Amino acid sequence: MCPGTGKNTTCEVSTAATDPFTSGASYPNDKQALCAVDFGDFGVSATSASLIDACSYTTPNPFAGASDCVVTKACTTDSQCDDSNSCTLDSCSTVAGTCVHTPDTGASCNGTAGVCEVQDTCSALGFCQDNGYKPAETACGDPSDTECDNPNHCSGTDNTCVPNYETAGANCGDAAGVCTNQDKCDGAGGCTDNGFKDASTACGDPTDDACNNPTTAAERTGRA
């Protein structure tokens, strides 16, 4: 029975190398289904449930008899109840002698988050939920903050830490002077020294008479 659209009960199917039969084209792969049931979807108020109609075939015959079906997994120790789900706390009920899988709500799952990822966490239904990526303005990586290199930030769409350089051609370093060229950012975080103006560049005193020619960059640079 499925609760239908707009309900919270969910199931996921995966393939694992747990096939108990050593023959067949798909060995050792086997399909597994994991369902998280929201009792509210079925109009009931409860805190626990028992699994029914879960069949464990003792032979490769898919038409095995009803005697091959089990209601719940019997146990005597917690170690017998591992369901390979990092979002459930697995234990053996000493009263019922069956396995209990309690959602570990809010626990971290799916490994450690990357520098620009939000840590995935376990939902109240016992599934690992993808929490996506950090906002684009989140600082990461190189924190350098210079004239040509700003602190890196997350892309906002994946786990990439994006360099944040000033645009090539932006002013930096020495300001333009009478005989000095303006330094410029190179677009890769560096500031390019553009040196001095040509020796023939006019500057300073423009007097041009019988005894005095206009001052040039070479003359100005050579003065004390």
Other beta carbons within 10 angstroms of residue 60's beta carbon come to: 12
- Residue 96: what pLDDT? 82
Considering the domain boundaries, does residue 107 fall inside one?
Answer: yes
Considering the domain boundaries, does residue 56 fall inside one?
Answer: yes
Q: Are residues 83 and 67 in the same domain?
A: no
Mention every residue, 6+ apart, whose C-beta is less than 8 A from residue 88: 101, 102, 103, 104, 126
Query: Is residue 116 within 8 Å of 140, Cβ to Cβ?
Result: yes
Q: Are residues 66 and 89 in the same domain?
A: no
Q: Are residues 31 and 83 in the same domain?
A: no
Looking at 71, 88, 108, which one is the last position of a domain? 71
Q: Are residues 57 and 78 in the same domain?
A: no
Q: Which helix (H) or strand (E) holds 32?
A: strand 30-36
Q: How many domains does the chain have?
A: 2
Considering the domain boundaries, does residue 44 fall inside one?
Answer: yes
Q: Are residues 62 and 103 in the same domain?
A: no
Considering the domain boundaries, does residue 167 fall inside one?
Answer: no
Question: What residue numbers bound the domain in which 58 lies?
Answer: 1-71
- Residue 4: what pLDDT? 66
- Residue 13: what pLDDT? 79
Q: Are residues 1 and 65 in the same domain?
A: yes
Considering the domain boundaries, does residue 192 fall inside one?
Answer: no
- Residue 125: what pLDDT? 80
Looking at 116, 132, 148, which one is the last position of a domain? 132
- Residue 63: what pLDDT? 52
- Residue 66: what pLDDT? 47
Looking at 100, 117, 132, which one is the last position of a domain? 132
Considering the domain boundaries, does residue 66 fall inside one?
Answer: yes
Considering the domain boundaries, does residue 79 fall inside one?
Answer: yes
* C-alpha to C-alpha distance for 159 and 126, rounded to whole angstroms: 25
Question: Is the model's pTM score more than 0.75?
Answer: no
Q: Are residues 84 and 122 in the same domain?
A: yes
How does pLDDT run along the chain (224 residues), one tens digit per residue? 455 677 888 877 788 887 766 777 778 887 777 777 788 887 767 776 665 545 555 555 555 554 444 446 788 999 998 888 889 999 998 888 888 888 899 999 989 999 999 999 998 888 888 999 999 989 999 898 999 999 999 999 999 999 999 999 999 988 888 888 999 999 999 999 988 888 888 887 676 666 666 555 555 444 43
Q: Give the per-residue SS3 of 2-31.
A: CCCCCCCCEEEEEEECCCCCCCCCCCCCEE
Considering the domain boundaries, does residue 153 fall inside one?
Answer: no
- Residue 184: what pLDDT? 93
